[in-house]
Amino acid sequence: MHHKGLLYDQIEAFLNGQLAGDARESMLKALAEDPELARELELRRLEFEVSESLIAQRIRDQLRGLRSPESPPPVPGRKFRRLLYWIAAMLSIAAIGVYWRQTHTIPTAPNPVQAPGHTPPVQPDVPASSGPQANQDGTKSERKNTPENKAARRHLALATGLYRRPDLETLRSAAPAANDACDLALAAWEKQDYAAVIAALQNFSDKDPKWMRALTLRAHAQFNLKRFAAASQSFSTIAESKIMPWSEEADWYALLAMLADGKADTAAFLAQLNGVLADPGHPYFEQAKALKGRL
Amino acid sequence: MAILRYFCLYFTRDNKFQGTSALFSEPIKQPLKNPPGFSDEQITQALLGSLKQREEIFTYLYQSSGWREWVVRHVCREGGDEPAGEDVFQETLILFDRNIREGRFLKGSSLQTYFLGIAKQYWFNRQRKIRPLSMPLEYDPPDTLNPEHLTLQQEWQQMINHILQQIGEHCKKVLELYKLSLSNEEIAREMGLSSPEMAKKYTYRCREKFRAFVLGRKDILEHLDLRLKDAP
């Protein structure tokens, strides 16, 4: 990695026109003599071009947004802004009140530690009577998550506390279409209408190139609807596909879904957790380690 | 077409009438200004800054600089229409941004002169692809306009689009942020990763994934070899 890093740095400097004089001359000579190096250079050039096309696309998207007829609302006046601050303050007080009430009505569920910037986690269900188990697509009513014991409740609180509602904006296609199920689901996701996300993806084909996006969206929607069994199944499917980067994200979320579903003691959960812990390069290695410590 | 051009010349995007004096004036010579409070240096710094800074400066350049209006007027004057002008402004902004980031702007002029120069050249080249024009004497036709080169360029672009479809959204974002020279800390923040070290690891993985993908594709490698043979 170190050697490659050095090579990349030199090639990048060359491609960026930052090599001058002798350094540039020796690079040109090396390129003429070493076909492997020359190919490596072309690979980096291709990577640069791909990256630049992404940057260009972001600019196009932004300008398209600026051109759209829905212009941003006018800047509110000072009085109006003050009123907004007051409303925001009142809402915050109300939210704190609701939160306080909730934490005191479920005394056995510990307050999950939340990383800064994390969106509010899915709140654990108040114990209720059991219902039928959900099918895979989560369209039918699902078993209510009613943890029977203290450990299960703690796991549920831990999982929902660790869950982070991902920013799925990056899943948006380059040219969003009104009839594209994936884009419809994404729009519903942004409105936090999780049932609509699942409904939009109901007939999504696994042959579709956007299948992984759709499955990811559906799995998160299921988690947010507290259909943890279905979410666990969806995340596991993505994780098993080994398609990067979906599978690595799904490794982690499958763990959380299983944890929330009261499956922390199962062999499947342990295998999943150990799988992440076996790979120090896994993006969720540290989180998995911390999770293991808290179980 | 003439009516379209008339409207194109005298109305802005917001359909605000610009005044009859514009009818007889030379729009190109109208004074331009940087957005209020933004010097050339500040624009450059913003383009080299975070995603948020970049978005802010693009918004200012689009809405407040007067550069867009100038480009649209120029395109309309030179046989295009307003949508074409908007398109030229957009593509010019992309080229301008890249040139600034890659240090190709040598500060021999103001940024606005540089920007408008790119826009004029871009529109001229594009017109040339649509229909042949008589070339100005000072114009040195670039080699990039020969048909063989254009075909290769199209293939290259198709290949890039294909790769983009395959590498996954997260890696796409990582590659973009990396190319913008954001620090690992900034990448971690943008990607919602827990630490700069994670961002570094993630970036490395994505770049390796990209590399592995390309090396696994015979057709792409053939194309790369073709480029190698063409290289001077």
Residues B46, B126, single domain; the answer is: yes
Query: Which of B103, B130, B157 marks a domain boundary?
Result: B130
In a domain, B98, yes or no: yes
B225: pLDDT strictly greater than 60 = yes
B67 occurs within a structural domain: yes
- Check if the beta carbon of residue A174 is closer than 8 Å to that of residue A57: yes
Note whether B13 and B104 are same-domain residues: yes
Judged by CB atoms within 8 Å, which residues 144-203 of B form the interface with A? 156, 159-161, 163-165, 167-173, 175-176, 178-180, 192-195, 198, 201-202
What confidence score (pLDDT) does residue B153 get? 72
For position A54, what pLDDT does the model report?
92
Domain-terminating residue out of B99, B130, B161: B130
Q: In this predicted model, what pLDDT tens digit does every residue of A161-199 receive, in sequence order?
A: 888 877 666 556 555 566 788 888 888 888 888 899 888
**Consecutive 10-residue averages of pLDDT for chain A (295 residues):** 61 82 85 84 87 92 82 52 82 85 55 40 38 42 56 85 75 62 84 88 80 86 91 89 78 91 89 86 82 84
Are B20 and B114 members of one domain? yes
pLDDT in tens, B29-73: 444 555 456 889 999 999 999 999 999 999 999 998 889 999 999
Q: How many helices (H) and strands (E) does chain A have?
A: 12, 0
Answer whether the bond into residue A245 is a cis peptide, omega within 30°: yes
Tens digits of per-residue pLDDT, A198-238? 888 888 887 777 788 888 889 999 999 999 999 999 998 88
A window 116-175, beta carbon within 8 A of B: 117, 164, 166-167, 170-171
User: Which string of b and e fits B173-184 if b means at least 16 CB within 10 Å?
Assistant: bbbbbbbbebeb
Q: Of B71, B101, B130, which residue sits at a domain end?
A: B130
For residues B88 and B165, membership in a common domain is answered with no
Q: Tell me if B85 is assigned to some domain.
A: yes
> Given this model, what pLDDT does residue B231 score?
56
Neighbour-count burial for B194-216, b at 16+ CB within 10 Å, e otherwise: beeebbbbbbbbbbebbbebbee
Looking at the domain assignment, is residue B135 inside a domain?
A: no
Q: Are residues B121 and B176 in the same domain?
A: no
Greater pLDDT, B227 or A210: A210
C-alpha span between B174 and B167 (Å, rounded): 11
In this structure, the answer to whether residues B153 and B220 fall within a common structural domain is: yes
Q: Is the pLDDT of residue B232 over 80?
A: no
Residues B103, B155 within the same domain: no
* Residue of B170, B171, B218 to mutate, interface with A, max A Cβ within 10 Å: B170
Confidence bin at B182 (pLDDT 50/70/90): very high
CB-count burial class (<10 Å; 0-12, 13-18, 19+) for B88: buried
Contacts 24+ apart (CB under 8 A), B84-90: B84/B123, B85/B8, B86/A67, B86/B13, B88/B119, B88/B122, B88/B123, B88/B126, B89/B62, B89/B119, B90/A59, B90/A60, B90/A63
Residue numbers of the domain that contains B30: 2-130
The answer to whether residue B138 sits within a structural domain is: no
| pTM (whole model) above 0.90 | no
**Domain membership flag for residue B136:** no
Average pLDDT on B77-90 reads 92
How confident is the model at residue A26, as a pLDDT? Answer: 85
Domain count, chain B: 2
| ipTM value > 0.85 | no
Shared-domain flag, residues B44 and B124: yes
Does B32 share its domain with B101?
yes
Q: Do A62 and B55 touch (CB under 8 A)?
A: yes
Q: B216 and B117, same structural domain? A: no
Mean pLDDT of B122-129: 84
- Closest approach of chain B CAs to the CA of A146, in angstroms? 31
- Cα–Cα distances in angstroms (integers) from residue B34 to residues A235, B65, B115, in the given order: 50, 5, 11
Q: Is A59 on the interface with B (CB under 8 A)?
A: yes
pLDDT digits (tens, 9 = 90+) for B195-221: 889 889 989 988 888 888 888 888 888
Residues B164 and B121 both lie in one domain:
no
Report if residue B153 sits inside a domain.
yes
Same domain? B83 vs B32: yes
Residue B61 resides in a domain = yes
> Measured between CA atoms, how close is A135 to chain B, in angstroms?
28
The answer on pLDDT for B150 being more than 90 is: no
* CA-based nearest distance B72→chain A, Å: 14
**CA quadruple A174, A177, A179, A181: dihedral, nearest 10:** 20
Interface test with B, best of A6, A36, A37, A51 (most B CBs within 10 A): A51
The answer for residues whose C-beta is within 8 angstroms of residue A257's C-beta and 6 or more apart is: A159, A219, A222, A223, A228, A229, A231, A232, A235
Residue B18 pLDDT more than 70?
Answer: no
